[in-house]
Amino acid sequence: MESSRETKAKKIMKDSKIICCKLYISESRNTSALEAIERASRIDPEAVIVNKFQDRAYNRVRYTLVSYVVHDVSAGITYSPMRQTLLSMVEAAFAAINLETHSGAHPRIGVVDHIGFHPLAHATLEDAAQLAKLVASDIGNGLQVPVFLYEAAHPNGKALDEIRRELGYYRPNHMGNQWAGWDFPEILPERPDVGPAYVTRARGITVIGASPWVDTYNVPVMSTDVPTVRRIARMVSARGGGLPTVQTLALVHGDDSTEITCMLLDPSTVGADRLQSQVELIAAEEGLEVEKGYFTDISQDMMLERYTKLVSSG
């Protein structure tokens, strides 16, 4: 016999708009900090973590959360259990992590570096954007951390990579290939979209936005010749005249490899298989070995399946 929780879970999936949120935090080596963040996430059983990806070399973790959103146009109200869950996790991250003592092989400009919202199931991009702006207000105005908005959450649809370039996100500041501490002005040259223009060095900046679904895929190149791998990464990317809707970044990963981290902005146009083949082709011309790449998150269908199971189990 079906339990009341199972019935409720099925009703949510059938009747509600479902939103996915990817929360990127600049930490993966401090177990106690991650445990505190994960404890903070358990305040509402209808907003759940469906996946976690942490990388020690990058010193970065991504939590993928799923919940529903209700948007009442006539009343001008957007509600989602995810909003309070995210605020709880963000507060825990700020309490446990100091950006000034952080270092890693992945760029970052804040403890809570990036929060991205994507519509699933019956949700629209506007639903995701409305929730993104509410969370931006919670962090920017409530916690007094500068927030820059991007894509559907930005008034002019400004792209994430454009904002990051303006903020110096892609420039390593430590030992040539690492990011360490806070290396930006405390008074921002450009006014953030939400929150103060003054940066607390321990917390940094947060970038928040909403976009259609994006696949993240990493390709290991077995070489420590970072300039060469960076050149390959650029040749593969749309910006470098390569594959359309593909953004890339070459990052040191361990003692013997450099990863090309990729954002596939439209996986239906250019998917992981085509990207993998292109990297292998160009790397072969340089005499470099390429390993099979990997997705850093689960599929949309799997997210919905896990969400249903987790809500059913309470």
Report pLDDT digits (tens) over 83-137: 999 999 999 999 999 999 999 999 999 999 999 999 998 999 999 999 999 999 9
pLDDT at 12 over 80: no
Report the range of poorest mean pLDDT among 5-19, 71-85, 130-144: 5-19
**pLDDT reported for residue 189:** 85
Percent of the chain with pLDDT over 70: 94
pLDDT at 144 over 70: yes
Percent of the chain with pLDDT over 90: 86
Q: Tell me the two tokens of residue 228.
A: 């060469």
**Residue 118 a catalytic site member:** no
**pLDDT reported for residue 213:** 96
Catalytic residue among 71, 102, 106, 122: 106
- Tell me the average pLDDT across 270-297: 97
8 A C-beta contact, residue 26 and residue 203: no
- Tell me the average pLDDT across 173-182: 91
**pLDDT reported for residue 2:** 59
Domains of the chain as residue ranges with CATH = 4-212 (3.30.990.10), 215-295 (3.30.70.670)
Closest CA to 83 of 111, 44, 113, 52: 44
